[in-house]
Amino acid sequence: MGQYVNRGSASFKSAMESEIYVDKTGLLEYTNSVIDTEQRFICNSRPRRFGKSMTAGMLSAYYGKDCDSRVVFEGLKIAQSGSFGKYLNQYDVIHLDLAYLQSQMKDSLKTISFMQECVIDELKTIYPGILTDEDTMLPFALSKLHYETGAGFVIIIDEWDIIFREDKFNQKAQEAYMRLLRGLFKGEQSKDFVRLAYLTGIFPVKKYSTESTLNNFTEFTMIRPSRLAEYIGFTEAEVMDLCRNYQMDFEEMKHWYDGYCLGKELHVYNPQAVAEAVHCREIENYWTGTSEYDKLQAYINMNFDGLKDMVVQMFAGGRCKVNVDRFKNDLVSIKRKDDVLTILIHLGYLAYDKNTKEAYIPNAEVRTAYRDAIEDNDWTPVIEAVQASDRLLRATWEKDAVTVAKGVDQVHMANTSILSYNNENALSCVITLAYYNAVNEYTLIREMPAGKGYADIVFLPRKCSDKPAMVVELKYDKTPESAIEQIKERQYPEALREYQGRLLLVGINYDKESKEHFCVIEESVMA
């Protein structure tokens, strides 16, 4: 076993023997199905701490020669597949952790040359007498080995895009790196020696520059996860199993770490955050303390027209349309707000609804990162609204409709350039921002199916809360009384039939002539 070629199964065994392990070996059934086909070039991109390195270690352990991994994988999902034994430990696996190499070398050009030198040196040991000191370029060395011995290789590059992300202004290094990647993965010779290529990073591979011609890769991303969606993070069923096994509150876990909806029904949770929460037996903000947090601050503060408005709208619980197709995966040439939003989707700081083509903040953990970033960027009106949220909540519980109306007025006036009213949806964003701290006591559901329609906002008390449930109906240039009447006529409280306790019906109207809000609050009891 070597450092770069046939690294063995130690890394994957370490992951398996950890207290929290979720079996994702079903991915191997897909990679087995594309070996030696036109689809054998895979780029699976996802955010930091979403299991990229663990997946790379799993692939290396399964395919690598000089390693009997059968006992490692027995009992896991892949062992039930008909392809399990056919490909087990059958290939020389070149496994490169580019982020590690880059951190050690500090110089991208040196990283590229050093990486090739190390791999070729190990290949000389595995295949003695074939490669010479003149063989310094890895694509030619692999081609030569294939021609002489018929050898085929599985090539795994973890954090493949680190040079583009961390050394984004070094055009010379990027061009040298792209030449290497094209030599490895593009062209007739590479088709001879590459049995499977698996690249993992944060960004897709195709469009980095006009020089990039790696269009033979099948890409699986946070925007288009396709058939690998369930392997990007923990599924809801997997999180429910963990919560049952470790006596954790599933609803709290969902509140904090859910939100990435990668298909019609598939919800994906941040795996690192869930694993940390279960291991520590405490739900906390684990993931957003990573190094990408500083980038969030920089991106949301970019001076593109309308970007700040969109960030605040999402911070207030709304969604924003985004064109993800215009982004060229070039972190230097960011030209428009859609580019920034697409970057944040790839980084995991936004989720993406493919059906509606909308971006949104996925969960409470990520929302906390936005709150901190907004505070650090001194978005004073937004922070003042968050700070006033507790007072507004207390006034609502006390049925002080006058104070509630004035509080919403203040939030709207302070953020009028950002959250301009033109319909009830804009009003909904202001209300959600005004009640921001309600997330400590409630699960907030917008447009909740209820009775004979959809309730604008429902505040459902969390298990740990003794506060009343609230149904909020919003009106634009009508009356708050008409909002209360609609709640009753359309039987919105029916959606809360499993809830027992106090229920507040809150009607809020915005009068466009006086530019004031008016509120009515009524109380009933759900039995």
Average pLDDT, 10 consecutive residues per value, the chain (527 residues): 89 90 96 96 92 93 90 94 95 94 90 95 96 94 95 96 89 91 87 94 73 80 92 94 95 90 85 93 77 76 84 86 86 87 94 93 91 81 85 94 91 66 68 85 83 84 85 91 92 82 92 90 83
Q: Which two tokens stand for residue 385?
A: 């609204």
Average model confidence (pLDDT) across the chain: 88
Residues 485 and 490: their CA atoms lie apart, in Å, by 8
Query: Got the DSSP string for 30-42?
Result: HHHHHTTSTT-EE
Residues 299 and 41: their CA atoms lie apart, in Å, by 31
Residues 134 and 399: their CA atoms lie apart, in Å, by 82
DSSP reduced 3-state for 200: strand
DSSP letter, residue 268: E
Determine whether 188 is exposed, middle or buried from the number of CB atoms within 10 Å of its CB (0-12, 13-18, 19+).
exposed
Residues 141 and 272: their CA atoms lie apart, in Å, by 38
Q: Which two tokens stand for residue 90?
A: 């059958």
For the chain, which domains are there?
A: 10-220 (3.40.50), 228-377 (no CATH), 380-526 (3.40.1350)
Residue whose token pair is 């790839």: 346
DSSP letter, residue 64: B
Residues 290 and 281: their CA atoms lie apart, in Å, by 20
Residue 422: per-residue pLDDT: 57
Residue whose token pair is 């199993």: 241
Q: What angle do CA 214, 261, 48 make, to 5 degrees?
A: 55
DSSP reduced 3-state for 507: strand
Q: Which two tokens stand for residue 122?
A: 């190990």
Half-sphere exposure of 345 (CA within 13 A, CB side): 31
pTM of the model: 0.89
Q: What angle do CA 280, 282, 285 make, to 5 degrees?
A: 100
Per-residue CA distances from 389 to 66, 105, 241, 396, 438 (Å): 61, 49, 35, 11, 8
Distance, C-alpha 331 to centroid of its chain: 18
Residues 53 and 100: their CA atoms lie apart, in Å, by 11
Residue 476: per-residue pLDDT: 87
Residue whose token pair is 């699976």: 44
